[in-house]
Chain A
Amino acid sequence: MIRKNTETDVTMENIKPININERISRQVPLVAYTLLILLPLTLVFFASFKTLKQLYNDPLGIPEKWSILNYIRLFANENMLIYFKNSFFVTFTSVFFILLLGSMISYAIIRMPNVVGNILFGFVTLGMMVPTQVKMIPTYVLLSDLNLLNKHSGLILVTIATLIPICVFILTGFMKTLPKGLLEAAMIDGASHWQVYSKIVIPLSLPAIASTAIFSFVITWNDLLHPLLFIKSSSLKTLPLALLQFQGEYLTDYPMIFAGVVAASIPMIIIYIFFQRWFIQGMTAGSMKG
């Protein structure tokens, strides 16, 4: 006898159109969040084309004249290129070492016996729980003792130490999802730990590494606190610190600051667009596999 399964029959009538209320309740929070992010950015972008007077008269409006005078003034300051260079140097060096050391630690954690690996993982990621403000003074004293104050090397060292925990957290989570058999196959094929790490684990972890790279890049590039604490010489300043120059005691040149902010965010936007695909893959990795 052929049983007619009426319950699971799919016909045009029983495919429900998506309820309009459901659609609104789904879209509204997304639109609200997007506006929350986009509005200030748009205001900053508009303000960077205004004069100070225009900004005070009409802080929220579209610029009357799209003048690039602020950008010209910004780059007319010959130090600005040095600040860019400093930021690039500090950021790229820090991110390079964060990824190199972080991925090595993560590899070590996944290859160690469970208990030892978990202890090391807990120890390293404990660093995420300590706010920078709490360790400002001890770090300052330490760098002073090491004669690393007012040096890029000191700033880079502190940045690496601050960001390694989060890097290890993300990368270990990802590497744990790699099939153990792959690493064992490589060991049997004749690979040393270094070769397993560099030829198997790193290429397969690229999505997670890309997202960690972007994450670390944004934090380091935007970092104001550490340069403010450790860098004194004008020639060593990074961009966020340099932009503070436009903030006076009595008068702040907001259009210049905003022009600086827009210019400073361009490298981040480029890098984000470039790595976007991997970034999303990295953030969702591990969620699908057991």
Chain B
Amino acid sequence: MAGVKIENVYKYYNKNTIAVSDFSLEIKDGEFLVLVGPSGCGKSTTLRMVAGLEEVTKGNIYIGEKNVTNMEPKDRDIAMVFQDYALYPHMSVYENMAFGLKLRKYPKDEIIQRVENAAEILGITHLFERQPRQLSGGQRQRVALGRAIVRKPQVFLMDEPLSNLDAKLRVQMRAELVKLQRKLATTTIYVTHDQTEAMTMGDRIVIMKDGFMQQAGTPEEIYHNPINLFVADFIGSPSMNFVEGSLVTEDDQVEFETDGFKIGFNSLIKLGQINEKEVILGFRPENISLDTKNKGSWSKPINCQIELIEDLGAEKILFMKAENQEFQVKLFDSNFEGKVGQSLQVYLDLSRIHIFSKDSGQKIWNAGGGR
């Protein structure tokens, strides 16, 4: 096993098309790293550069101590699972799994043993004789994983491997994949556009946009301490609420003022602590409450009206409107009996708010991490 080091890597397709820009990251041995971002953010290109399927325009990639930047994919000791599985259609499941080992001229006994072991782990021993076209989506997925793990590579690379599965199977395979990775303890780089996958699977997440890395950190860090508006918006479902407004000072207290309401920060933000006046207030839907019974640093009540209720069973999403401001509230109270059109008072947990610069979109303050 080995770690991966990506050092100031750039990928240009031509002068005007920059796929990845100044990407640097160190992935620890055995770590499960998830690259996440919207389409075209450069996450797959980064993965393909690590695999050797795309040339690196500038920068270096190391696997373990070895600089693999200009190495052929076959010499990098990696295995990759593709979005469409890329199983060889003219070979049986067994042949698909054994192909890489045969090419590397492993002894026949070892090939049989390795393929059988991998198949046992994945529960596909009974499928050996089948052709890929005779398998279901989930089975194909397992075979593709099997083909990767028989090789016992230094690094697993996975390019949206679950996106072709139906929702239920995806959740099931997600858990299995994580368990498998923990068991094998092989460094894994996993690409997805699904923030739920990223949050639930990764030891660490890297969020990308337009070829630039936005933030890298544990799921918890990213969720609670997003570095900018993009990250705050991208991670979390429903996503964070954003309200534009200004910071004003009243009676030596800093307050946030917007069309619908005014929030005092109860000395959380001290005078002069934030220089910018026009800001964006961010708060997650679960950090608003209909009462102040629970632990938290609650704001003064905000008057608003229910516009829509989405009932998800265990939780409810309320779409609220306060004057011109709209935001969502996530309630874990299944007994809530509010109706659309009903007026309510809600309270914001001040210990969980974020303040972003309106100009740059960068975070300028959050309750958890200070400035």
Which residues of A pack against B, CB within 8 Å? 179, 181-182, 184-192, 195, 199-200, 203-204
Contacts and interface: CB of A to CB of B under 8 A. Distances in A.
A184 B47 CA distance: 13
A182 B99 CA distance: 12
Contacts of B88: 182, 185-186, 200
B180 to A, nearest CB: 19
A186 B89 CA distance: 12
Contacts of A203: 90
Given A179-B84, A181-B84, A188 B78 contact: yes
A200 B102 CA distance: 14
A191 B103 contact: yes
Contacts of A188: 51-53, 73-74, 78-80, 100
A189 B104 CA distance: 9
B23 interface: no
Contacts of B53: 184, 187-188
Contacts, number: 56
Contacts of B82: 181, 184-185
A190 B86 contact: no
Contact of B100 (A190, A192, A200): A190
B79 A195 contact: no
Nearest to B51: A188
14 contacts: A179-B84, A179-B86, A181-B84, A184-B53, A184-B80, A184-B82, A185-B80, A186-B99, A187-B73, A188-B52, A188-B53, A188-B74, A189-B74, A190-B74
B72 to A, nearest CB: 7
A8 B45 CA distance: 46
A195 B84 contact: no
Interface residues of B, number: 22
B330 interface: no
A191 B72 CA distance: 10
B363 interface: no
Contacts of B78: 188
Contacts of B90: 203-204
A203 B99 CA distance: 14
Interface in B86-131: 86, 88-90, 99-100, 103-104
B99 A189 contact: yes
A185 B90 CA distance: 14
B86 A182 contact: yes
B86 A184 contact: yes
A187 B86 contact: no
Given A184-B73, A191-B74, A199-B99, 20 more contacts: A181-B82, A181-B83, A181-B86, A182-B86, A185-B86, A185-B88, A185-B147, A186-B88, A187-B52, A187-B72, A187-B73, A188-B51, A188-B53, A188-B80, A189-B103, A190-B74, A190-B103, A190-B104, A191-B103, A204-B90
Interface of B: 51-53, 72-74, 78-80, 82-84, 86, 88-90, 99-100, 103-104, 147, 151
A189 B72 CA distance: 11
Nearest to A183: B86
| 3 nearest A-B residue pairs (beta carbon) | A189-B100, A181-B86, A185-B86
B135 to A, nearest CB: 16
Most buried by A among B79, B99, B147, B151: B99
Contacts of A182: 86, 88-89
Contacts of A190: 74, 100, 103-104
Contacts of A181: 82-84, 86
A195 B103 contact: yes
A257 B98 CA distance: 57
A192 B74 contact: yes
A24 to B, nearest CB: 40
Contacts of B89: 182, 204
A186 B87 CA distance: 9
Contacts of B51: 184, 188
Nearest to B72: A187
Most buried by B among A182, A185, A200: A185
A173 B346 CA distance: 64
Contacts of B104: 190
A189 B90 CA distance: 16
A195 B90 CA distance: 15
B55 to A, nearest CB: 10
Contacts of A187: 52-53, 72-74
A186 to B, nearest CB: 7
Contacts of B79: 188-189
A199 B95 CA distance: 12
A111 to B, nearest CB: 12
A188 B103 CA distance: 11
Nearest to A185: B86
A182 B88 CA distance: 7
Contacts of A192: 74
B75 to A, nearest CB: 9
Most buried by B among A179, A181, A186, A189: A189
B272 to A, nearest CB: 56
